[in-house]
Amino acid sequence: MESLDTFTQLPLTLDPTTKAISTTSSTNNPPLASELTTLNALHRALLSLDSSHPVPPPPVPVNPKRSAAIGKLRDSGNTAYKKSQYPDALKFYSLAIDMALQRPPWEPAGLVREELAGLYSNRAQTHMASQSWVEGAVDAECSVEIKKMGNGKAWFRRGVCLKEMGRLNEAKAWVVEALEFEQHAQVPPPQQQVQAQSVEELFKLRDELDDLIGRKGG
């Protein structure tokens, strides 16, 4: 047996018509000849298959129990937020984020992005309700980094957090960038009204920041 550290180049040739693989050294290498015979037979068998019924792609694997658990935690967070139970809301959103982050890599990345973008944005809003501006800004930025377009709420929430921290120029630059992404973002019909409201809020926040910056400079 040859060493695994040794590379031996074999004189293989490919027939341009039949695509069969052969080698001039097959007479001196019976194992290679046998492998090539098997490979060429498999190729011919695949070509003989009926191609009028192509094999459908495999289904996208998603764990329904995990999706249901994440949705339940999100809904529990929303309920706690509406009742002004902010610590509980933060707990539920954080548990949902952890569960979404633990999805296996073969599940759709788009699904994970949608889940996390919404959860981070919701947790940012909860931080804002407690006037935890730094934490809110961090979560809102995480949401935007995950989903830049069609995520006007997260853009707006970080802009508000920056304003409340007195970082007016940074907030203004952030809102201007937000409008570049959100003003013409294409979203599904059910989300269009929310998207329009988010853009309107961003314009109002931009005007407010202009006024605050102008008064501060004057």
- Are 201 and 160 within 8 A, CB to CB? no
pLDDT tens per residue, range 86-109: 999 999 999 999 999 999 888 888
Q: What is the pLDDT of residue 155?
A: 97
The verdict on pTM exceeding 0.85 is no
Q: Tell me, what amino acid is at 197?
A: Q
Q: What is the pLDDT of residue 50?
A: 65
CATH class of 64-202: mainly alpha
Cα(first)–Cα(last) distance of the chain, in Å?
85
How far, in Å, CA of 95 to CA of 137, rounded? 19
How far, in Å, CA of 75 to CA of 92, rounded? 9
How far, in Å, CA of 161 to CA of 141, rounded? 10
Domain assignments of the chain as residue spans, ordered by start: 64-202
53-65 in b/e burial notation, b at 16+ Cβ within 10 A?
Answer: eeeeeeeeeeeee
How much is the average pLDDT of 38-43?
Answer: 90
pLDDT tens per residue, range 141-156: 999 999 999 999 999 9
Contacts of 95 (CB under 8 A, 6+ apart): 73
27-36, 138-147, 172-181: which has the minimum mean pLDDT? Answer: 27-36
Q: What is the DSSP letter of 16?
A: T
With bands split at pLDDT 50, 70 and 90, how would you rate the model's confidence at 9? confident
Q: Give the dihedral of Cα atoms 80, 66, 115, 105; nearest 10 deg.
A: 150
Q: Given a cut of 60, is residue 118 above it in pLDDT? A: yes
User: How many Cβ atoms are within 10 Å of 71's Cβ, its own excluded?
Assistant: 12
User: How many Cβ atoms are within 10 Å of 67's Cβ, its own excluded?
Assistant: 16
pLDDT tens per residue, range 126-136: 999 999 999 99
